[in-house]
Amino acid sequence: MILLAVQDTYGTVLAQVGNPTPEAPPGSEKILQLVRYLTWFVLLSGICGITYAGGKFAWERWTGGGLESPKMVAGAMIGGVVATSAGTIMNAVIGT
């Protein structure tokens, strides 16, 4: 709640102004649909990345090669955590 001080001829009067409720602008449904598609693509790419890195890890263990894939698995998992928690982080920052 915001208090505004208004000066009139008799003295100071305080007026209360409530917090406005957010309203989506016209045409915002298309943007929200695009965001949902991008979220789906990010989750799908994370699953594919973890699956690929897991297969590569198994192949490296089977053939006795160098182990580079654990870094790929960790990177894909960290990226997935950041991508899926982005909405929660933004809600905490904005305060809604």
Which pLDDT value is given to residue 1?
47
For residue 24, the model assigns a pLDDT of 81
Residue 11 has pLDDT above 80, yes or no: no
DSSP the chain: -EEEEEEETTEEEEEEEPPPPP-PPTTHHHHHHHHHHHHHHHHHHHHHHHHHHHHHHHHHHHHT----HHHHHHHHHHHHHHHHTHHHHHHHHHT-
Tens-digit pLDDT profile for residues 37-84: 988 888 888 888 888 888 888 888 888 877 777 888 888 888 878 887
Residue 13: the pLDDT is 53
**Alpha carbon of 53 to those of 48, 67, 79: distances in Å?**
8, 11, 14
